[in-house]
Amino acid sequence: MPVDVNLEYCSVAFSIKNKVGTDLMVSTTYDHNHKLSKIDRGLIEVIFEFENYLRDDEYILVVAIENRKNPQPEYYDYIEGAKYFRVISDKKIFGYFLPPISQTINFMKE
């Protein structure tokens, strides 16, 4: 990232993509209103945590540093394939992922 970057608009992002490149999950520090401008310049560590609801398959991790001054992000750095990984699961899932879902059945009188 250039030294003269205004950190007020700087955001760190990650994406989980399937094998054909479809974004399945994207999260940024901008979305959570975490301002990088509050830190001193230098090394930082950004940790994203989530429960894994992905089906048994292969995936691609993308990481990026973005300029979010405008509605369309501009990338200072974008690493497609920062990590390739596989999820192994015994569950048979017919979609790409299966988050917790509550179900309610209401029987209606005719």
Give the pLDDT confidence of 26-76 residue by residue, as tens digits.
Answer: 999 999 988 776 666 677 889 999 999 999 999 999 999 999 988 899 999
> Does residue 108 belong to any structural domain of this protein?
no
> Does residue 98 belong to any structural domain of this protein?
no
> Does residue 95 belong to any structural domain of this protein?
no
Nearest one of 59, 57, 58, 67 to 4, comparing CA atoms: 67
For position 6, what pLDDT does the model report?
A: 75
> Does residue 57 belong to any structural domain of this protein?
yes
Q: Are 28 and 85 in contact (CB under 8 A)?
A: no
| Phi, psi angle pair for 35, to nearest 5° | -90, 120
Number of domains in the chain: 1
* Residue that is written with structure tokens 């596989």 in the block: 86
For position 40, what pLDDT does the model report?
A: 63
> Mean pLDDT across the stretch 89-108?
89
> Does residue 68 belong to any structural domain of this protein?
yes
> Mean pLDDT across the stretch 15-25?
95
17 lies in which domain range?
A: 7-87
What pTM, to 2 d.p., does this model score?
0.80
For position 23, what pLDDT does the model report?
A: 95
> Does residue 62 belong to any structural domain of this protein?
yes
> Does residue 73 belong to any structural domain of this protein?
yes
The strand order across the sheet containing 57-67 reads 23-28, 10-17, 57-67, 74-87
> Does residue 107 belong to any structural domain of this protein?
no
